[in-house]
Structure 1
């Protein structure tokens, strides 16, 4: 029968998963607040989908606990957990109408016919498909099918909604539009959401907080802004932030969260923001947008010379790959400058740039990316 909406938080305690001798998930501890939209972001093989499947009950856990509304659901069946799920392929019944797809889970949970009809109408209205309940999935666009899958997952008022790369099958324009719809629907329903993706733009667009995974562990968890502005490691800086990395060495802490570092490729000591546990050999995370063409250098900026390797016009910005040549060392930088600078950044030309040091952060080097000091986009 129909019940009242229960919006609950999720807690993972020392969650572990082994596949034979291989450890896919390594003792994750994670809390998701009631009504929060948490995105789990990571590269292929990081364990993010395995975590989602364990929460849903589709994959058995090896160790640890999964708590929902404070109750232990670790070894409950998927049906017992009161969790909604949206898959990348939507998993709609092709022979059922959109309305019947939404109503199916309600019928299995014992909702009466009148309640089902009323709730299906409410859900179609919520996802912007009012009056389209009689259409079969093949009569709907990809975006509309995704909305039906979302409506079906929310219809029975789940305590938690899990989403596994639900926008992955859509083209870029539709993904952007659907991300906006997901934000609106989350704001209206206030359902607790755990959303898995490898797409940084989706994570930035949708999330209250983001958990970045690497090798079966949570490498960092924070708000999108803090993860971008103050990455906690070289991996987070590159995979999530898309920042350049340049090798450096910690000289001494300065207080107030600042540190003096030596950057060999520029052969200079600079004062920048310090990440956590920074000492010895470190990396300096440099955002692509921290450079500007300049004859003058303002306070908190450093003059650098880059040799242009290639440039690409991207509409509002020009993306340039430049090389800094230092004493016995070189480093590649990918930078973005406003407007059209293809001529100024033609291959082989030296670029006189100012680097905003207030946007740079000293971070510890993640073992997996040690030795690599160039930016890589997520």
Structure 2
């Protein structure tokens, strides 16, 4: 991978260097192989899930659309906010923990088409996942060329928890908004970057990572321009910087007003047993596994965390563009330092697609036949694991 520390360095098609996006048809044709590979991997995951479900006597449709968080999103879409579940042990689960963009879209789609909120959620995830894959490809294409972009989209599709991309969850929608925002930062489209960051901030709390990518890259870009005497579009950059946090801040403020507390959203998350403690709870969880009969699981967790951190360090050493490092780093930091249901951590890290860039670059250097074979094996393992996961504990 080349030195791409500058956010405006181009390894993409020639149109990227002109400051203009290519025409929609040309861009779609350029991304088509990545989108086809992505769709094929996700279809394989759904087929394996369906076969497994029929064999186990479970409805695959229900597994994808009407369990865990998807039920909360559907309820918000149908009835609005205001539902609270009181559990034993003092936990209070409020639907205010869920950001509003996905249920808003579910409500709109189900009002226009004869779809339930849950089915609208599936449709939104299906479309959003394709746009996410397109953005992931675009970033990989710009950083390392077309083969790297295709490999990056394929690896993101074949993550062990990639099945979540096909569920009525908010991960696909968030990743689409976040990845395109980061791409816009890379290409100097500051207003688009800020607007998409604001929408990402209405989708998940980790929208803060997108804001950080916009803000820190803007600050560094200005410092470099001042040092080198270069010119930057200050007005557009300033507007993008101002827009970026608006969605995230607006929802935090609304929950604060709704609950009558400045720390309202944090209090809501506390009722779910969530929050940030610097990773102490997660460390204690792993330690408990290492010292008990489930020590192999503890070892596996340590290996997984070490692999993820190593991938991030590899990205730093390969001098990935700053917005990618900031975005992936903040997503990773928030996921590893949060307490709560630890089985959800792989899902929380899923939007950090830049972590896969070193692997994508290595895959792109292989001969085509070997690369295809590698992706096929990884995709099959992902499909089998996804079916096993959803028939077991699955995402919360």
More strand by share: 1
- Look at both structures and tell me which one has the larger radius of gyration over its CA atoms: 1
TM-score normalised to the size of structure 1? 0.23
Q: Which has the higher contact order (CA 8 A, sep 6+)?
A: 2
More helix by share: 2
